[in-house]
Amino acid sequence: MLPVIYSDEFLDHKTGKYHPEKPERLTAIANALKAATFADKIDWRSPTAVSEQPLLMSMLVKAHSPAYIKKLWQIASSGGGPLDGDTPVSPRSYDVALLAVSAWLDGVEAVLKSANPAFVLARPPGHHAESDAGMGFCLFSNAAIAAFFALEQPGINRVAILDWDVHHGNGTQAIVETEARIAYCSLHQYPCYPGTGRATERGFHNNVLNLPVPPGSDIAVYQPLFERQVIPFLANFQADLLIVSAGYDGNADDPLASINLQPEDYALFTNYCLGLTRKILFGLEGGYDFDTLSQSVVATIESCLL
């Protein structure tokens, strides 16, 4: 059984009819998983209520300034509004974003308890959210917060984050690159939003690996990068837990980028990771074409179940 942590409350973060990061993304994925041949092997779990997650706020402030957290709460509680031109906040967005963080913390605990993968099917996404600013559809830096939380657990001394979303996780990198116990690796289209993630950036402890790829890249570009750089970097770091910022907007049909991956390519990426460890937490980031997004999540989870 593979835990998938999900709640219908994640649909209550409203972004507007024409915004690409919409609730229907999760609905499409959930429906695809329930129709999959391995549906009986999925353990659907609800996230822990925020009020029952004692370390949530202390982990949140490791990643975000109190002023930003207060600002986000104020925008939501006053009826909503824009954080920036791309990132709307609705009345329930603050609460939903906190519940998403809780789901990622639950995912960490599930993986460490079973020593097997789990998948967090939550929104809003997180990897663009910086310490003092949400941006790029992201409110809280879920993967970074999960990494800090993991380091609080017994026997966890090092955590690696692999970000295969088509966009660079500027927020994740900025938050974790000063922490020697966390490594961050990103493959991303360049040039592309948000314009960060140069290959020359190595972090404060040689703990960052950025692999920008040009528009039009496909699996023939990605596969050698995984084999020659991603996997050696992660193996050398010897993490006790691997967190994957699992964005699926690198698919050829995705409207927000120009990479030519196919859903089955994410099964290959997953298998590379499983070759390192089964202690993997996958958490949803981007992916805006419902069909290829759903197929890619199915491919990821099916690989974990083989």
CATH of the domain at 135: 3.40.800.20
pLDDT in tens, 86-103: 999 999 999 999 999 999
Strands 81-84 and 87-89: antiparallel
Helix or strand holding residue 118 (H, E): strand 118-120
pLDDT digits (tens, 9 = 90+) for 36-76: 999 999 999 999 999 999 999 999 999 999 999 999 999 99
Q: How many domains does the chain have?
A: 1
- Band (pLDDT 50/70/90 cuts) for residue 246 is very high
121 in Cβ contact with 4 (< 8 Å): yes
Write out pLDDT tens, residues 170-198: 999 999 999 999 999 999 999 999 999 99
Instruction: Give me the domain span that covers residue 95.
Output: 2-305
Dihedral sign, Cα of residue 277, residue 196, residue 285, residue 149: positive
pLDDT of 300: 98
pLDDT (tens digit, 9 = 90+) per residue, 188-237?
999 999 999 999 999 999 999 999 999 999 999 999 999 999 999 999 99
User: Which contiguous run of DSSP H or E holds residue 170?
Assistant: helix 170-176
Q: What is the mean pLDDT of the chain?
A: 98
Which active-site residues does the annotation give?
128
> How far apart are alpha carbons 113 and 17 in whole angstroms?
40
Name the nearest CA neighbour of 127 among 110, 113, 140, 108. 140
The b-or-e profile of 43-60 (16+ CB within 10 A means b, else e) is eebebbebeebeebeebb
